[in-house]
Amino acid sequence: MNNLNNLINNAENNDLTQSDLIQTKFNNPWFKVETVNDDAFFSADLAKVCIKNQQQKRWILCVDGDDSRVQSLAKSIDKSKLLRVNGQHQPIAFDKIARALLKGNCSTVILCDPQLSEEQLLMLQSCAKHGKTECIVVKNTPKQLH
């Protein structure tokens, strides 16, 4: 656990860059980076993953998701196992997310637009695999104005 704490502390001050490289590097059975530009991803694709994972009778944790997207997801799944955490004025601490993945109490952890470095994403990937928790990082692309 000390090794995890050291890696978490070393990774906390970097910014996420090169999203295309990161997206291909991290997609595996336990950890995915998805770039989305509309709410359909939450109500369709993400809902399918959550429905599949809810059969494990574990929690689905959504971190910093906006109201409309979380509500569209909630319409499709068992709401009694959906937890939502918002950082309000500051983001949820990286070590808390890593520990949630490691504990394995959740079947799915959804991180909405996190400001994480590549090193932090690698740590989360490892934590997700160890805790047998699917982690989905959702990166929003800005909506195009016509």
Any domain includes 15: no
Any domain includes 145: no
Domain holding 49, by residue range, is 2-9+22-140
Contact 12, 109 (CB under 8 A): no
- pLDDT tens-place string over residues 33-45: 998 887 788 888 8
Q: What is the CATH number of the domain that holds 27?
A: 3.40.50.300
Any domain includes 37: yes
Any domain includes 146: no
Q: Pick the residue with more confidence: 1 or 145?
A: 145
Site of tokens 């689905």: 60
Q: How confident is the model at residue 91 (pLDDT cuts 50, 70, 90)?
A: confident
Any domain includes 17: no
Any domain includes 16: no
Amino acid identity, position 23:
Q
Burial (0-12, 13-18, 19+ Cβ within 10 Å), 105: middle
Q: How far is CA 59 from the centre of its chain?
A: 13
Number of domains in the chain: 1
Any domain includes 125: yes
